[in-house]
Amino acid sequence: MKRKLLGLLLSVTMVGALLIGCGSPDSGESKEDEGSGGTKKVVLITMDQMDQHWKNVDKGCQDAVAALGDIDYSWSAPDVKDDAKQIECINNAVAGGADAILLAANGPDAVTAALEEAAADGVKIIYVDSAANFEGEATFSTDNEAAGETAGETMLEEFEAKGITSGKIGIVNVNSATASTVAREAGFRKAFEGTDFELLETQYSEGDAAKSQDIASGYITQGVVGMFGANEGSTVGIGNAIQEDGKDAVVGVGFDKSDTIGELIENGYLLATMAQNPDQMGKLGIEAADKLLKGETLTETNVDTGVSVLKKGDF
């Protein structure tokens, strides 16, 4: 019944999407892709369209779809990180007849009501990268706190090599609500417990590289010895700030893998990045959706997709 009602409201929903920016990252249109054919409809909904990380999740999904067949797959995302826009993407997917949604939740609580309605309508909810506070069928993501702690330990090893035993450290995060990046920061801070380093108050950029660079430049004027970026945009921002200011003494460590981050590391403006496996998140998410929609039971429902420390020479 709910799906019928949502179907009647679909045209209104699409108009709303035009206004608030939920659309297909590939086409730029404010609607979902037409799909890849097949009888089981699966929609990937990410936090935004900005980061290469999400393109890699999509690539993993596409690879799994090509191998499995019989899946009508599409990727939908807000243009920027915004709870209302992501809710609209969820509503659009349900109204469009999605059987399963692969979701990277922008925040843990804001989308809960939309997910409750989707699940009540029979839609399978599978998390990739970041879960919401709503019980889904499975989660495929990085152990973000452990990875954040590894980032901190990587920075500490560099300080030890340089003979640096104290100093200020800046943290550029996305926001205070995105569970994955909050966990990364918690792990990073944990690595510095018991040391003489001062971790400054976190500043937020919504993952925008330009805003992150402005924040990082401010940290540099405060005399920081290190900076941590909690996602791709934040990492690019701190690397660009270090490059612009010529402060090669500042140690930059970040998260995610992209061509830009690779260049910043190879050119010496960043020390390292914690590279996730977004393609695996997408691949495993599609495979799980396929099993669930066939009526099969998942043997693993909470999978750590791993992380690697990438430094100069690894790109």
Residues 164 and 269 in one domain: yes
Indicate the number of domains in the chain: 2
pLDDT tens digits along 125-151: 999 999 999 999 999 999 999 999 999
The answer to whether 121 touches 99, Cβ cutoff 8 Å, is no
Question: What single string gives the DSSP state of each residue in the chain?
Answer: -HHHHHHHTHHHHHHHHHHHTEE-TTT--SS------SSEEEEEE-S-S--HHHHHHHHHHHHHHHHH-SEEEEEEEESSS-HHHHHHHHHHHHHTT-SEEEE--SSSSTTHHHHHHHHHTT-EEEEESS--SS--SEEEE--HHHHHHHHHHHHHHHHHHHT--EEEEEEEES-SS-HHHHHHHHHHHHHTTTSEEEEPPPEE-TT-HHHHHHHHHHHHHTTEEEEEESSHHHHHHHHHHHHHHT-TTSEEEEE---HHHHHHHHTTS--EEEEE-HHHHHHHHHHHHHHHHTTPPPS-SEEE--EEEE-TT--
311 within domain boundaries: no
φ/ψ of residue 72, rounded to 5: -95, 100
130 and 201 belong to one structural domain: no
| Domain presence at residue 85 | yes
Q: How far apart are CA 153 and CA 96, in angstroms?
A: 46
Q: Taking the CB of residue 97, how many other CB atoms lie within 10 A of it?
A: 15
Residues 229, 184, single domain; the answer is yes
Would residue 310 count as lying in a domain?
Answer: no
Q: What is the pLDDT of residues 238-279, one digit of tens each?
A: 999 999 988 678 999 999 999 999 999 999 999 999 999 999
Query: Do residues 137 and 15 both lie within one domain?
Result: yes
Percent of the residues in the chain that have a pLDDT greater than 90, as a whole number? 83
Domain contains 315? no
The whole domain housing 199 covers 144-276
Residue 57, in any domain of the structure: yes
**How sure is the predictor about 3, in pLDDT bands with cuts at 50, 70 and 90?**
very low
**130 part of a folded domain:** yes
Residue 7 shares a structural domain with residue 129? yes
pLDDT tens, 158-172? 999 999 999 999 999
Q: Are residues 164 and 91 in the same domain?
A: no
**Does residue 293 have a pLDDT over 50?**
yes
Q: Is residue 312 part of a domain?
A: no
Identify whether residues 127 and 41 lie together within a single domain: yes
* Residue 35 domain flag: yes
The number of residues making up the chain comes to 315
Query: Cα separation of 227 and 152, whole Å?
Result: 10
Same-domain pairing of 289 and 272: no
User: Is residue 186 located within the same domain as residue 222?
Assistant: yes
Q: For position 2, what pLDDT does the model report? A: 42
- In CATH, what number is assigned to the domain containing residue 196? 3.40.50.2300
Q: Identify any residues that bridge with 274 across adjacent strands, giving them in sequence order.
A: 255, 309
Question: Do residues 95 and 160 both lie within one domain?
Answer: no
Question: Is the predicted pLDDT of residue 56 greater than 90, yes or no?
Answer: yes
Residue 32 vs residue 291, higher pLDDT:
291
Q: What tokens does 237 get?
A: 């921002």
Q: What is the mean pLDDT of residues 60-74?
A: 96
